[in-house]
Structure 1
Amino acid sequence: MADPTYSTLPSPPFDTISRIQYSPTDPNKLLASSWDSTVRFYHAGEPNERPSEQLVKFEHRAAVLTCCFSDASHGFSGGLDATIRHLEMGTEKITTVGSHTDAVSGMVFSDESHALVSGSWDCSLRLWDPRSATPQQANATTPERIYAIDMTNHNIVVAMASRLFSIYDIRNMSTPAQQRESSLKYMTRSLACMADGQGYATASVEGRIAVEYFDPSPATQAKKYAFKCHRHTVDDVDHVYPVNALAFHPVYNTFASAGSDATVSIWDHKVKKRLRQYPKFGNPVGTLAFNCDGTRLAVGVGYNWDLGEKGMHEKPGTEIGIRKLGDEVKPKNWTG
């Protein structure tokens, strides 16, 4: 029997979906970047209203690793060709903003500063003002390749190789406000900042998530913790999977995690409990995002090369799924 709370979008990318991002103001619009060298802009509507559809497909020269919105009708993308591109949804126009010297691995847009922040495998974090004749405004050198970045309020969290983290204040990019080593023992796979601005969650290739806080005081740092997840015991053997994506709910500050075990879970990090695990997908879940009002969760499902080329032939196909959310994302003690 079909699940009435879950639907898929038409015309998904034909290769691994690298990132999904919802519009900051329209709960029915989203961007999806892919290793098939495209960024796709979708309307994701209710089946009984306007049907879901792909509105625009932006072609790139190489695999696209990341994308983000600046407002409801403009976005940015970056990937293996090291180029930062500005995307106009209405005109389908693509403009080059600038470039790194290696792959662009992460980007976020600050509404308050009207600035794009990009991170790269070239060990740099760059700040761009797309409106300026000279868009690049700042360039910070990082000690390692950047794997992921996210932002909340003025804090930019940068996850790097060698399990390193830097926290920058967007108002002063000359030096990190904090530098940390991961609480997890293995390579960082994903990162997301809390909706309330207090901290962030990070996850590793070894089925663990860590909850961290910005306030360096001993009392606050005593609250940080890590836990095991996305693991399954089969015939007394513990199978451990990478945690590929994290996302915080914009209203409740609970968070979702997605793994190569093809599952998505919702967590209440304040009480250290899992609130829900959704039915298993047919392939790993590589990316996910809540929409701006927190009523839906989008997931990017598809083979992500954890098993090499052999696995690509065993499990072909991708999908972008939209789950309509209920009280399962709400903390048990939520008072509103």
Structure 2
Amino acid sequence: MAPEPEIGQTANEFTIDSPPLDTISSVNFSPKSANFLLVSSWDDSVRLYDVVGNKQRLTYNHKGPVLDCCFSDGVHCFSGGLDCALKTYDFNASAEQELGRHEAAIKCVEFCNQMGVVVTGSWDKTVKLWDPRQPQPTGTYSQPDKVYTMALADERLVVGTVCRSRVMVWDLRNMSYVQQKRESSLKYQTRCIKAFPNKQGYVLSSIEGRVAVEYFDPSPEVQKTKYAFKCHRIKESGMENIYPVNAISFHSVHNTFATGGSDGFVNVWDGFNKKRLCQFHRYPSSISSLSFSHDGSSLAIASSFLHEEENANPPEDAIYIRSVSDTETKPK
């Protein structure tokens, strides 16, 4: 993909006041409003921010670092982390509840609107489905290895594990068998998976500065169109430094997607036409999470030191809210 010019920091971007005090694991805009942002962190907290007012509306805590969080609707959220607990919070009632537990850390939390179920992926090598009205999971399903990343495409669940070559595709309506067992197109560990808004496929990234575009349809003619490309690599002093691609977020209107890497850059891609649309300015630290708002008007960018990185004096964790334009996100 041909490089595009870097787009610098301008007046259309600001930082959130009172950010978390440790690594930011996840940022998620509300599915109902571009005003509210849910953030989980290694400081044991889950925070809800009013983006327009730039203030923290509420916070609740786990008994350990929180690795993921998600909204179910505009007034409820779910979270999980190293304390192995799945929690839910009701914003209207200001009430939290523990729904249940895994035997090891909960790495991923997703909500399936079509079925009204919460999906958790854990380092105990299982995926669990939860009815928010019940204290026990409705099902527990073994995975090949520790779950590292997950994505939903309606009732389809895509699971990436620590074992780099395995990607499992499940159908939440019938979890008695794996719908597809896929071999990753990438040679190194999968870091992030996100599904296309049109539900036709997914994008996955690796620790080795690569991104793959995959399609669910197993027919040979469709599988011929999948591809992978290099990104988040910087040439310095004659050497090419390669960085993990930690975060992916899709623009719900244009089907384009943003990637964030440990190089501190955010790129926006047109996956169908195999083009990079733009690159923003370099952020102070690794990009740990990204989230487009439901209407595509804003992008939340978590600039945050990751725990596997070596830095004696890392920059402070920060969340940037960037107003994005069609010029930056619409296929050309």
TM-score (structure 2 length as normaliser): 0.95
Paired AA for residue 49 in structure 2: Y
Q: 2:48 aligns with which of 30, 41, 45?
A: 41
| Between 174-183 and 250-259, the greater mean CA deviation after superposition | 174-183
The gaps in structure 2 that reach 5 residues or longer are: 1-7
**1:10-33 deviation digits (Å, cap 9, x = unpaired):** 110010000011111111111000
Question: What does residue 116 of structure 1 align with?
Answer: 118
Question: What does residue 48 of structure 1 align with?
Answer: none
Q: 1:76 aligns with which of 71, 75, 78?
A: 78
Q: CA deviation at 1:112?
A: 1.4
Secondary structure at the counterpart of residue 71 of structure 1: coil
Question: What does residue 95 of structure 1 align with?
Answer: 97
Question: What does residue 158 of structure 1 align with?
Answer: 159
From the superposition, tell whether residues 115 and 125 of structure 1 become closer, same or farther in structure 2 (CA, over 3 Å): same
Question: What does residue 273 of structure 1 align with?
Answer: 275
Moved over 6 A (4+): none
Paired AA for residue 88 in structure 2: H
The equivalences for 1:56-67 within 5 A come to: 56-67=58-69
Q: CA deviation at 1:4?
A: 1.1
Paired AA for residue 320 in structure 1: I
Q: 1:20 aligns with which of 24, 27, 31?
A: 27
Q: Confirm whether residue 85 of structure 1 aligns to residue 87 of structure 2.
A: yes
Secondary structure at the counterpart of residue 292 of structure 1: coil
- Percent of aligned positions that are identical: 41
Q: CA deviation at 1:184?
A: 0.3
Q: 1:305 aligns with which of 296, 303, 307?
A: 307
Give, in whole Å, the separation in 2 of the partners of 1:80 and 1:198.
Answer: 33
**1:133-168 deviation digits (Å, cap 9, x = unpaired):** x44111111111100111012211000011111001
Give, in whole Å, the separation in 1 of the partners of 2:108 and 2:308.
Answer: 20
Q: 1:187 aligns with which of 186, 189, 200?
A: 189
Q: CA deviation at 1:316?
A: 3.2
The 8 Å contact of residues 194 and 248 in structure 1, kept in 2 or not, is answered as yes
Question: What does residue 144 of structure 1 align with?
Answer: 145
**Equivalent residue pairs, number:** 323
The 8 Å contact of residues 58 and 92 in structure 1, kept in 2 or not, is answered as no
Paired AA for residue 329 in structure 1: T
The 8 Å contact of residues 107 and 150 in structure 1, kept in 2 or not, is answered as no
Q: CA deviation at 1:3?
A: 1.7
Give, in whole Å, the separation in 1 of the partners of 2:184 and 2:170.
Answer: 16
Give, in whole Å, the separation in 1 of the partners of 2:235 and 2:307.
Answer: 22
From the superposition, tell whether residues 62 and 195 of structure 1 become closer, same or farther in structure 2 (CA, over 3 Å): same
Give, in whole Å, the separation in 1 of the partners of 2:160 and 2:17.
Answer: 33
Q: CA deviation at 1:2?
A: 6.8
Question: What does residue 291 of structure 2 align with?
Answer: 289
From the superposition, tell whether residues 2 and 211 of structure 1 become closer, same or farther in structure 2 (CA, over 3 Å): closer
Question: What does residue 330 of structure 1 align with?
Answer: 330
The 8 Å contact of residues 68 and 109 in structure 2, kept in 1 or not, is answered as yes
The equivalences for 1:162-241 within 5 A come to: 162-163=163-164, 164-241=166-243
Higher relative contact order (CA 8 A, sep 6+): 2
Secondary structure at the counterpart of residue 220 of structure 1: helix
The 8 Å contact of residues 139 and 173 in structure 1, kept in 2 or not, is answered as no
Paired AA for residue 286 in structure 1: S
Pairwise CA RMSD of aligned residues?
Answer: 1.2
